[in-house]
Amino acid sequence: MIAVTLSLLAGCTPGAVPPISPSPSPTPRAFTLLTTGSITTADPAIATGDTDSMLVTSVYQRLMVVLPETGELKPDAATDCLFTSKLVYECTLPELLSFHNGHVLDSSDVRFSLQRALRMDAAGTSIRLLAALKRIETPDPHTIRFQLSWADNQFGYALAGQAASIVDEEVFDPDTPLPLETLPIGSGPYAVRTIEGVEASFAKFDKYLGPKAGLLTELKLAIAADSVAAETAIAEGTADVVWRSLDNAALQRVTDEIAGSSDQRTAKGFTRFPLPGLRVTQLVWNPDARLRRSEVLREGVARALQGDRTLDSLVPIGVADHATAFELGGRPRLPELSGNRIILTLGYSPTAPGHADLANLLRSRIEGLDGVSVRLVTGGAADLWLTDAPARVNNATGWLQRYLSSPLPNSRTKLEELDQRARTTSGVPRTVALTELQQQAAVDNTVLPVSQTDGILFVGKGVTLVGHPFGSGQALGFWGITRG
């Protein structure tokens, strides 16, 4: 028995340990930009939501771009655009301009893109800014010539609008929107790798030609379910940038944590990026609402909000040609309403930071009108809609489009005359026309300013935004984000 045991031991090598396969290294988390509000479309001809606009701004180019900080009009995909006569606006494309799929981007693609957007005519987009366009000519692959019906000094700004984004005519259907499951093809600083309603991934487009080249090699756009999820991402450091997303209470908690720390950061290194006056909230009457026809009701709603209103015009403070128009504060006398009880519906997006609380406040104020009840909704049609969607182009004309696109019948002729005067003159005459438009908005009360507050953007440790990180319509662009 002893011999057998020794024999077995002799077959073993003292100290030998079975080899262990090395554990794979954890995959580094992709740079993550977190926001609320799902991705519903990547088609620039119809995109209006905040998340959709952010994607469109970074994936596609436009001929021109408006610098949000200064309002200056600069070339984007074009090398230059200018008036060659009062009714002809001409743009030149550079050599070697291409889409993400390698297809050449030429004048034919530009013409196709604009004609497609005009054909779709989607509400809430920048398409109305192209009102002066009569015909598009493409004498060669690098020249686009726009024939205008009247001398529109805002036409270059129209070409910077989101609806004027350039798409590949070999990929996009001329009549129908791009399905979300189809990868969008643009020529912007970032190309889409994957896309679905709650997440999209992007890679830097190395052959991009333009003023907004990407700094990050890749990034992920992730959708938070709500403010709680966004606040958790800041607390746990599972995102690098958190855009919008936080409701009033969460915003205050994160702000207090930053203020109370020695390095002015959260425990995971987040700080707030300053965006003074970026967020503008308005209450908009649905053009199809029967109750919108009542002048006394529109006036009553406007007066009911006066005590809480902090913005006095449809053109925000800081934008050139802003003019005071709406009354602020005080104790306005509410008009008397007669007849049967009025039931108003007030809609808001549950993912818009703080809008649930604000909608309840506005309901309380409006119900101060005799015989008026307000029901809150978060989807479908509503008589009134609370929105913080920015203008598609950040100048006075752009900010007035929401009002001008749905005029009251009695104001239509006056508004068309003032709008055209503002877009065909300069200096004092233009300023006077824009002022009159803002003042008429306070008479019609179809779009009501509510507030202008700072944008909500938190960045993680080592992350910053450089250059001009926003597009022509104040959508956050991926190109301005960097780390380290």
Q: Which domains does the chain have, with CATH numbers?
A: 29-275+455-484 (3.40.190.10), 279-453 (3.10.105.10)
Residue 92: strand pairing partners: 80, 143
Measure the CA–CA gap between 160 and 57, rounded to whole angstroms.
Answer: 10
- Amino acid identity of 5? T
Distances (CA, A) of 242 to 36, 121, 252, 394, 414: 9, 32, 15, 23, 43
pLDDT at 4: 38
Rounded to the nearest angstrom, the gap between the alpha carbon of residue 64 and the centroid of all alpha carbons in its chain is 17
Rg (CA), the chain: 27
CA-nearest of 479, 459, 458, 460 to 469 is 479
Q: Identify the helix (H) or strand (E) that includes residue 91.
A: strand 88-92
Phi, psi of 263 (to 5 degrees): -105, 10
Contacts with 72 (C-beta within 8 Å, 6 or more apart), sequence order = 66
**Secondary structure of residue 436 in the 3-state scheme:** helix
DSSP letters spanning 32-59: EEEEES------TTT--SHHHHHHHHHH
pLDDT at 26: 60
pLDDT at 234: 98
Confirm if 222 and 38 have CB atoms less than 8 A apart: no
pLDDT at 69: 75
Confirm if 346 and 375 have CB atoms less than 8 A apart: yes
Phi, psi of 130 (to 5 degrees): -90, 20
Q: Roughly what angle, to the nearest 10 degrees, separates helices 295-304 and 355-366?
A: 120
pLDDT at 1: 40
User: Hey, what are 288's tokens?
Assistant: 């199809």
pLDDT at 376: 98
- Torsion sign over Cα 245, 247, 248, 251: negative
**Burial class, 104, CB count within 10 angstroms (exposed 0-12 / middle 13-18 / buried 19+):** middle
Confirm if 167 and 185 have CB atoms less than 8 A apart: yes
CB atoms inside a 10 Å sphere around CB 12 = 8
Phi, psi of 455 (to 5 degrees): -70, 155
CA-nearest of 287, 333, 319, 284 to 448 is 284
Measure the CA–CA gap between 45 and 175, rounded to whole angstroms.
Answer: 10
Measure the CA–CA gap between 310 and 129, rounded to whole angstroms.
Answer: 28
Distances (CA, A) of 22 to 19, 25, 29: 9, 9, 21
Distances (CA, A) of 56 to 79, 315, 422, 460: 21, 24, 29, 24
**Secondary structure of residue 114 in the 3-state scheme:** helix
pLDDT at 22: 56
pLDDT at 71: 83
pLDDT at 25: 56
| pLDDT tens, residue order, the chain (484 aa) | 434 333 433 444 444 445 555 555 566 789 999 999 999 999 999 999 999 999 999 999 999 999 877 888 999 999 999 999 999 999 999 999 999 999 999 999 999 999 999 999 999 999 999 999 999 999 999 999 999 999 999 999 999 999 999 999 999 999 999 999 999 999 999 999 999 999 999 999 999 999 999 999 999 999 999 999 999 999 999 999 999 999 999 999 999 999 999 999 999 999 999 999 999 999 999 999 999 999 999 999 999 999 999 999 999 999 999 999 999 999 899 998 888 999 999 999 999 999 999 999 999 999 999 999 999 999 889 999 999 999 989 999 999 999 999 999 999 999 999 999 999 999 999 999 999 999 999 999 999 999 999 999 999 999 999 988 899 989 999 999 999 7
